[in-house]
Amino acid sequence: MPTTVERIHALMQRGRGPLWCFGFVVGLATGLGALAFAKLHRYWVATYWRRKVLRRAPRRRPTEEPGSDFKPIELKRSGSIVPGIEGLIGNTPLMRIASLSDLTGCEILGKAEYLNPGGSPKDRVALQIINEAEYNGLLVPNTGSWIFEGTVGSTGISLATLAKAKGYNCCIIVPDDVAEEKAMLLRSLGAVVQAVRPRGIVDPRHFVNEARARAQAWTPSENQPYARAFFADQFETEANFDAHYQNTGPEIWRQTGGRVDAFVSGAGTGGTLAGVSAYLKGVADPAAGPPPLTVAADPLGSGVYNRIHFGVMYNATEAEGTRRRHQVDTVVEGIGLNRLTHNLELGLDYIDTAIRVTDDEAVRMSRWLAAHDGLFLGSSSAVHCVAAVRTALRLKKQAPHPEDRPVVVTILADSGARHLSKFQNDAIMEARGLSVVDDISDILQETQELDQHPSSL
């Protein structure tokens, strides 16, 4: 059998050499061109999303000085009558957590998002999703239309709260190990609740995929021909990011008078962390000092910490490369991710670092806050507060003057009233080997330096 070289030599002998050379050059150019285009396309896509976020950024630092065109958000609860339950959403108080502030020598401020009518920051997201769907003609009120969503509770409660008020039906798919009081509340709000076994996101029976499939399979009845089915898609819709970029972030900036040294939040869908971080980074005046440090608070079983520090969305509780395990190794509900959602991706360039929080630390922090501040909070809020304390201590150590009091803002996302059957149940926590004493002395001893995300250096 002739070799490749012998075949080329034979072609040359028959006078086909120039044709072969031409074909070879064309093929080589095509291959190299395709490779270059693929790399250029990846660059274009990354640049597109970066510019899309930057286009949302304010052009100047907002001030309230004479002659400034900055107009702060109008308080909806400033003595006027609000338009229904949606008028109660947002403009939540920013409170000083006294015990943690005094112990750290910093100002640790909690934005009381659990005071939204649905009990969490997801009210903002649900309202934004529904409003955008109505604007785009995907939902029409009072036609018998249905909103479908897969959630561990909070977003479903927010959607159910707004659905009936705005003229929709609501179907919520939840994992069957969610706190029972959440499922009871959903049913009380008129939602149809269906529980499925917890599975990995790649499984078509995962609660999010199940909700999407049911929305796609739904058909209107003859009596309601104009009804529609809408999948809220909280993890991927940009309405989630926008709700916090356009509202939560500006509220925090206004409430602190523009003085924020650090912002701490977990990532359940990534919308709060990404949206607020992007806004605070964009609004800060470089001439006034470094922009706020943005910190992801990550519970056990989540891969966000590794994604921020090492660029890999992976947790040791998962089998390598399969991503099929659900989070059975944490008592925390509402935050933690094992996949890169679109909402989190929008804010990755604005998140500086991450702090991992154990279940034991979260439980003890929740008991401390109840005993010393009268704050009866849920699991995600407790994780946020642990990370806020560690961030505050490290910033205090780095402060140029001993009397400086860095300002750390975090999100109080959930009330303990929704965690009575699990996280706030001492017997259940002790059965899992967790301490329920109000002791955070080990957390207060945290003084190591902040590990910075490479993009922030």
Question: CATH number of 140-227: 3.40.50.1100, 3.30.990.10, 3.40.50.720, 3.40.50.1460?
Answer: 3.40.50.1100
- Pairing relationship of beta strands 94-96 and 107-112 according to DSSP bridges: antiparallel
Closest CA to 349 of 233, 201, 241: 241
Model pLDDT, residue 152? 81
Q: How far apart, in whole angstroms, are the C-alpha atoms of residue 115 and residue 340?
A: 29
**pLDDT tens, residue by residue, 308-329:** 999 888 666 554 444 433 444 6
Query: 140-227: same fold as 94-118+238-444?
Result: yes
**pLDDT tens, residue by residue, 345-356:** 999 999 999 999
**pLDDT tens, residue by residue, 394-421:** 999 999 898 999 999 999 999 999 899 8
CA torsion sign, 27 to 29 to 32 to 36? negative
Predicted TM-score (pTM) of the model is 0.80
Residue 177 pLDDT level (bands cut at 50, 70, 90): confident
Residue 4 pLDDT level (bands cut at 50, 70, 90): low
Mean pLDDT of 416-427: 92
Q: How far apart, in whole angstroms, are the C-alpha atoms of residue 230 and residue 331?
A: 31
What is the CATH code for 94-118+238-444?
3.40.50.1100
The one-letter amino acid code at 167 reads G
Asked if pLDDT for residue 91 goes beyond 60, the answer is yes
Asked if pLDDT for residue 73 goes beyond 50, the answer is no
Model pLDDT, residue 445? 87
Model pLDDT, residue 29? 72
Asked if pLDDT for residue 67 goes beyond 50, the answer is no
User: Catalytic site residues?
Assistant: 122, 380
**pLDDT tens, residue by residue, 269-291:** 999 999 999 999 999 998 888 99
Q: CB neighbours of 97 closer than 8 A, spacing ≥ 6?
A: 108, 109, 110, 369, 373, 375, 385
> What are the extents of the domains in the chain?
94-118+238-444, 140-227
Residue bearing the bigger pLDDT, 293 or 16: 293
The two structure tokens encoding residue 48 = 């597109």
Asked if pLDDT for residue 228 goes beyond 90, the answer is yes
Mean pLDDT of 93-119: 97
Asked if pLDDT for residue 64 goes beyond 50, the answer is no
Phi, psi of 194 (to 5 degrees): -130, 130
Mean pLDDT of 22-42: 69
Phi, psi of 212 (to 5 degrees): -65, -45
Asked if pLDDT for residue 74 goes beyond 90, the answer is no
Residue 17 pLDDT level (bands cut at 50, 70, 90): low
